[in-house]
Amino acid sequence: MDIKKNNTIDRREFIEISSKGAAGISLTSFAFTSGCGTDKTSKTVHGACYHDCPDRCSWNITTVDNTVTSFKANANNPYTAGNLCDKMMDFPNDVTFHSDRILTPLKRSGAKGSGEFVKISWKQAITEVAARLKDIIAQKGGEAVLPYSFGGNQGLVQRGAIANRFFAHIGASQLERTICGDAAVAGILATNGQTTGVLPEDIIHSRYIVLWGTNPVLSNQHLWSLIKQAKSKGAKIITVDPFQSRTSEESDWHIQPRPGTDTALALGLMHVILNENIQDQEYIDNYTLGIEHLKEHVQKYDPTTVAQITGLGKETIIAFAKEYAQSTPSLIRVLIGMEHQVNGASAFRAVAMLPALTGAWRHFGGGLMHMTYELFGKALNWESINLPPELANLKTRSINMIELGKALNSSELNPGINALFVYNSNPAVTTPNQNLVIKGLKRDDLLTIVSEHFLTDTTRYADYIFPATSVLENWDVLSSWGTPYLNINEPAIQPLGDSKPNSEFFRLLAKEMGFKEDYFYETDIDIVKKTVDSQHEYMEGISFESLRKMGGQKLNLPTKWMPHKKGNFKTSSGKCHFFDPNLEQALPDFIPFKYSDEEMKQYPLYLLSIKTPKNFLNSSHANVEHILKKEGKFYLEINPKDADIRHIADGDELKVYNQRGRVFITARISNKVQQGVVCMPQGFWPSLLDGGSSANALTSHLLTDMGRGGAIQETKVEVKKV
């Protein structure tokens, strides 16, 4: 990072620094040089990707004298299969050794948002932050402090092991981290009582694979290789997605419903299956509840009605239902694509009923594939990760992360938010209602502390920035929400510059605050050792020593994992719930969001803001020059008919706008979206775009029907040429 001699960074330099990238040095030709360290001995250690991704790549790193000489996938992990995903191939250059990386604490010297900072020492920074924090707590109470973090680092230690203790100890407001996954989980739990269904490697046994609202070609690359294996053995691949994704282009059949109508489509499939009498009645009788209620309920979702709702032909709905019910083994793969709508949880709830209705769970490779995190919930020793008993039951208010902008600007919160700690997240980019979030971050009376690698759009508004280690520089243990593999992460090099792990930052702050409790000062390596020291049967053959030797290891699960072959659902009854009178909606229903007539008139286009970028993940790596160059222009997919109405040509510069904001973007005219729908990629940093706004300037903080997730796809816009 190029700092002026007077140690300040002005706004222009801030933006320029954020847009610079790595030189893209080839691993096969050059080493990654840190410029520090004294260890002359070559060593190879195991690590794993810390990103919010279902694959959780395992890797090996070889170093000499604090220099990385080799960085490659771990062949011991058969799921990684000796290949890193495209986004992580050059990780040491893109993050750890990037020339723009923050390697010293910074203190704001200009106005918030100006990007003007001076370098200070850790001692000075910690002392000043502790003093200001003590003052806020003394005057306002602990609830005036809000932590904000999410999936930027999914290591169990650096994600929040020490941070969670710190915030619980001071009585801070709790953050509901529900922006991604919670609505999906809520829906599936309502039906099955658990999310863990078919394991990813077992998809090779499936013969009818429905990829519903997921794009594994880009976002689940190792699963896609297994799907291709299944296809080579005769499987048919169906993608259900309102957007023509890379995956849909490589599938046998793309079913393209209108956005937000998945619940109606799933209920329509059930109507056909039950009316055609092609359900598995024996499985239903033995292992489900509420079939008579369901039969009656789906009568209103006949193919003609569902066709009107979804925009699909009724013949498509009938053919899809029959093929799915009569194919064996049939598998539905879901992740989180359906959840970002007001009906999000209901959609997952309805889709999760289909394998029980057809008896798909009876067959190896048949059923529903979702998340795997519950396996680790059983397997690991969580004592060192969870809050200690004396902190576990403390009650403070909770604030939903989706409503950050609302919370920061609220005059009704008592106390208001006076201190914001951001780590493992970049909320100025990734949180809905972006302009409201930024308005809150601009508050002069808000103390904002950020632990980061780079000068992100969020750090522009920070009072203090602390340099965080990268995953190559700290201990951690990584479970997975998409695979049954456990990974250790051993530091390959000493931390560069003055960077420190998140855990150490909160230890130093706790010490400066005068906290004496032992639970603050447990070391990272001890937390890792204790976490994997478990007697659970899933951990047989797995230990700290074996993980250091092997890297990623698969949990010790049955050879044929078939969780619901004979029912065994984790609901209150032990059966799959088609009907549940204890829920607000006893049956899933399609209840569309009601826009006002004025909003429909002013903003007639439905905006999809989705993970279409090929080269960065969420907002991570989206500041690296060679990655941005590879990704290409920031574009809006618009249907030819909508473009023609607005006299828009391919390549025109556009303004996309609604009541919350506007975004400037380039037109790409295509049939990837239906008429009435436009699609904008997520993850681009506003500061690196013309006009300084990205997709979340248009989204709202509307919540889903269950799980309190973000209904960010319920966004209407208008588009015009500029």
pLDDT tens-digit readout, 114-131? 999 999 999 999 999 999
Given a cut of 90, whether residue 21 has pLDDT beyond it is no
Name 637's bridge partners.
668, 679
Q: Is the pLDDT of residue 33 over 60?
A: no
Give me the mean pLDDT over the 330-335 stretch. 98
Looking at the DSSP assignment, which residues form a beta bridge with residue 636?
667
User: Is domain 123-180+377-469+498-534 in CATH 3.40.50.740, yes or no?
Assistant: yes
Distance CA 337, CA 328 (A): 25
Q: 182-373 is classed in which CATH architecture?
A: 3-Layer(aba) Sandwich (3.40)
160-174 in b/e burial notation, b at 16+ Cβ within 10 A? Answer: bbbbbbbbbbbbbbb
Residue 9 has pLDDT above 90, yes or no: no
Name the nearest CA neighbour of 445 among 425, 415, 474.
415
- 450 CB burial (10 A radius; 0-12, 13-18, 19+): buried
| Confidence category of residue 80, pLDDT binned at 50, 70, 90 | confident
Evaluate if residue 344 carries a pLDDT over 80.
yes
Q: How confident is the model at residue 86 (pLDDT cuts 50, 70, 90)?
A: confident
Whether pLDDT at 625 is above 80: yes
Q: Which CATH number fits domain 597-721: 3.40.1310.30, 2.40.40.20, 1.20.1440.120, 3.40.50.1220?
A: 2.40.40.20
* Residue written as token pair 């190896």: 364
Q: What does the pLDDT average to over 127-151? A: 98
pLDDT in tens, 34-76: 444 444 789 999 999 999 999 999 999 999 999 999 999 998 8
- Is residue 8 pLDDT above 80, yes or no? no
CB 355 within 8 A of CB 180: no
Spans of all domains in the chain? 123-180+377-469+498-534, 182-373, 597-721
The mean pLDDT value for 391-403 works out to: 95
CA distance 71 to 61: 5
Average pLDDT for 566-594: 97
Average pLDDT, the chain: 94
Beta bridge partners of 467: 452
